[in-house]
Structure 1
Amino acid sequence: MSTLHDRRFPAESAAYRAARDQLLAAELDLRRRTEAVAAMRRALPPGGLLATDYVFDQAMPGAPGQVRLSELFAPGQDTLVLYSLMYGPAMKQACPSCTSILDALDGAVPRAQQRMGFAVVARSPIERLTAYARQRGWTRMRLLSSARNTYNADYHGEDAEGRQTPMLNVFTRRGGELRHFYGTELMFTPCDPGQDPRHVDPVWPLWNLLDYTPEGRGDWHPSLSY
């Protein structure tokens, strides 16, 4: 008899239950570790001050064509999340994986914005970015072009050769100071064999859903269309 709970599924075997209880113990440990890691993240000391109040191009009805990073903080909120979409001017198409993430986040943005500011940044000109958003049906996310500033290079949305990289950065506003709080650095560390960087997996519903299946993620990756 499991000491963890008394729920059972129809026709499950004793072997299944024993293996499931071992897995459940591991899931309990993962939940504790996930909470502990989140607590460590929240307890980070202040990050670096922003040396530049970046000016981005945007295309929002009734809004100016340019906006500063400092203006992206919503009234009464002091946290801003910027996701770097891999869609540079030299790329024929946007990154399918980034697109998969943003397809899901577009629906979550109205809820997320109750607690924070959120925007998507790409190096492509704003006209190209907004055209892609229309194609994908994105209607809720704020879209910003960094074509005329150094945000991507400074905060690792591209490498030294100009290749685009997926990156999620968090900024804070405290006492009038704008600081970097967190960036998804896991992508820059070595991966274990057979693993993806997994640096933004917590916000990627598709990958988490696949992890519940017997096939897992496998060597499959999302496409822009099917």
Structure 2
Amino acid sequence: MTTHLTGTREAWIAARLDLLADEKDLTRRSDELALRRQQLPWVRVEKDYRFDAEEGGVSLADLFKGRSQLLIYHFMFGPDYTAGCPSCSSIADGFNGITVHLENHDVAFSAVSRAPIAKLQAYKARMQWSFPWASSFGSDFNGDFGVWFTEEQQQQGGIAYNFRREAPMPPSPAGSTVQEWQLRGSEAPVAQLAAMAGTDVGTYTRDRPGVSAFVLDDGVIYHTYSSYARGVESIWGMYQWLDRAPKGRNEQGIWWRRHDEYGRA
């Protein structure tokens, strides 16, 4: 027998209408926040960032592809990873296929990662994705936009991610290598995610996720917005659905996998 509250249809309607009032309030608040994002001052991009894309070497301006706006997802895939971050991969499943809609509304979209373009293309083919994906390998782009940090910054407390300074990373945390996690099998989530990306915790966490927006106005590129950490959660489509499921997120540790890994032993 269920232990959850049960009731009549009339009781459900009453409770639902009460919740609806709060949902509408949240929607209005979300609209207000969206407007405030649009009202942020624009910051001129001074550097000539270069990327490798499917069509070859491109500039940041080229990523606009004739549009006036550009959205970038900072996908965690460092040069030393053997596969893309599983969390970013789940997020990418949610935004794969939207590019055509954005492009027909004057908005270009691209994922950007530090891994070389050949590695990105191979993983993209494995995942059967269609969105544009550029490599910033050898560029300052990820560092300048707060999604990549050096080992020195990591060890000396020089990482400022999500607009906050992080404490120095402790040396050699338990489960910090792929082999350790596989042997122990119950380490902290970050160690599990690092292992799933084929690298150690230190290397894995020097790359970070995020979203950045840019505008091309009268030939000049401006940075308009960036969001990191849980600020990216609103575009993680899986969670938007789970928040509406009867048992919610109902999580214990890292339960998700890349979409081609479910069912594997």
Q: What's the TM-score bracket when you normalise by the shorter of the two chains? A: 0.7 to 0.9
Corresponding residue to 2:50 among 55, 58, 66: 55
Structure 2: gaps of 5 or more residues: 1-6, 152-202
What does residue 191 of structure 1 align with? none
Q: Which residue of structure 2 aligns with residue 158 of structure 1?
A: 148
The residue type paired with residue 223 of structure 1 is R
Q: Is the 8 A contact 2:75 2:209 kept in 1?
A: yes
**CA deviation vs aligned residue, 1:185-209 (integer Å, no higher than 9, x gap):** 4x3xxxxxxxxx2x12332221101
User: Residues of 2 paired with 1:51 and 1:160: CA distance?
Assistant: 22
Q: Tell me how far apart the structure 2 counterparts of residues 131 and 92 of structure 1 sit (CA, whole Å).
A: 11
Instruction: Give the equivalent residue in structure 1 for 2:225.
Output: 182
**Equivalent residue for 2:247?**
215
1:82 counterpart residue number: 72
Structure 1 residues not aligned, in runs of 5+: 1-10, 188-196
> Counterparts in 2 of 1:106-121, with a 5 A limit?
106-115=96-105, 116-121=107-112
Q: Does 1:206 align with 2:238?
A: yes
Q: Does 1:171 align with 2:205?
A: no
What CA distance in whole angstroms lies between the structure 1 residues aligned with 2:114 and 2:74?
A: 9
Conserved 8 A contact 2:113-2:137: yes
Kindly state the Cα deviation for residue 222 of structure 1 after the two structures are TM-superposed.
Answer: 2.1
Q: Distance in 1 between matches of 2:97 and 2:63?
A: 19
Between the aligned partners of 2:14 and 2:64, the Cα distance in structure 1 is: 50
For the residue of structure 1 that corresponds to 2:110, the secondary structure is strand
Please give the TM-score of this superposition, normalised by the length of structure 1: 0.82
User: Which range moved further: 95-104 or 165-174?
Assistant: 95-104
Aligned with 1:136 (options 127, 132, 153): 127
Instruction: Find the residue that maps to 2:16 and give its secondary structure.
Output: helix
Q: Which residue of 2 aligns with 1:68?
A: 59
**CA separation in 2, counterparts of 1:88 and 1:122?**
7
In 2, the alpha carbon distance for the partners of 1:205 and 1:35 equals 19
Q: Which runs of 4+ in 1 moved over 6 A?
A: none
2:37 counterpart (41, 44, 49): 41
Residue 15 (structure 1) aligned with residue 11 (structure 2): yes
Q: Which amino acid letter does the alignment assign opposite residue 168 of structure 1?
A: V
C-alpha displacement of 1:72: 1.5
Query: Which region of structure 1 is more displaced relative to structure 2, 34-43 or 125-134?
Result: 34-43
Distance 2:22 2:142 in 1: 38
Q: CA RMSD in A?
A: 1.7
Residue 97 (str. 1) matches residue 81 (str. 2): no
Give the superposition deviation at 1:12: 4.2
| TM-score normalised by length of structure 2 | 0.70
Question: Which residue number corresponds to residue 149 of structure 1?
Answer: 139
- Give how far 1:215 is off: 1.3
Alignment partner, residue 118 of structure 2: 127
Distance 1:70 1:201 in 2: 27
Q: For the Cα contact (< 8 Å) 2:70–2:214, is it kept in 1?
A: yes
What is the CA-CA distance between 1:14 and the residue it aligns to?
3.2
3-state SS, counterpart of residue 61 of structure 2: helix
Which one-letter code corresponds to 2:61 in the other structure? S
